[in-house]
Amino acid sequence: MKRFALLSVLLAATGCGYHRAGQATHIPAGVRTLAVPIFKNNTQSYHTEVAFTQAVVHALNNRTRYVVTSDEKPENSDALLNGTITSQTVAPLTYDSSTGQTSSYLITIVAKVVLTAPDGRVLYKNNGFSFREQYQSTQDLSAFIQEDSPAVQRLARNFAQALVSDMMESF
């Protein structure tokens, strides 16, 4: 009876999709070099694509063993990661009841990412990565600090971590 119970547990664990970290990858084993050119930006926002590209390169360098380059030619790397910022919106979130001014905003950025092999085969694709970040506005105009840029930086780091995890794992 104990053997049957142990066998049942083992079969259930292997059949549920459980795997060790790094074992369920979208990227073939032969890939050693990833090219990550600057993301495209289809919005009117300034430098969002740079922040996102830098965050992705940083995450890949810190969390994987791939050699990361910025070369745009697919034949010079084992895989090419192209990204596009498809939308960026900033919406008022809360208001100061005494002044009627906006006190916080919600920034939303949507990106499309495609990882391709040199032969054009799609290794990974996500057309709708969507990330949101709330930030406070400064009410004191003498000490005014533009807070949307740090919010984009935080969003880019979260995006990069999620992207690398999603590419490396099939969760």
Q: Which pLDDT tens digits describe the chain residue by residue (171 residues)?
A: 555 444 454 444 444 444 333 343 568 888 899 999 999 999 998 889 999 999 999 999 999 999 999 877 767 899 999 999 999 998 888 887 887 778 788 889 999 999 998 888 999 999 999 988 888 776 554 444 455 688 889 999 999 999 999 988 754
Q: Do the domain assignments include residue 153? A: yes
Q: What is the CATH number of the domain that holds 103?
A: 3.30.160
What single DSSP character describes residue 141? Answer: G
pLDDT at 20: 39
Q: Which domain holds residue 50?
A: 33-165
Q: Do the domain assignments include residue 133? A: yes
Q: Do the domain assignments include residue 141? A: yes
pLDDT at 170: 53
* CA–CA gap between residue 43 and residue 8 (Å, rounded): 53
pLDDT at 134: 83
Q: Do the domain assignments include residue 123? A: yes
Q: Do the domain assignments include residue 130? A: yes
Q: Do the domain assignments include residue 151? A: yes
Burial of 107 (0-12, 13-18, 19+ CB in 10 A): buried
Task: Count structural domains, the chain.
Answer: 1
* CA–CA gap between residue 77 and residue 69 (Å, rounded): 8
Helices (H), 64-147: none
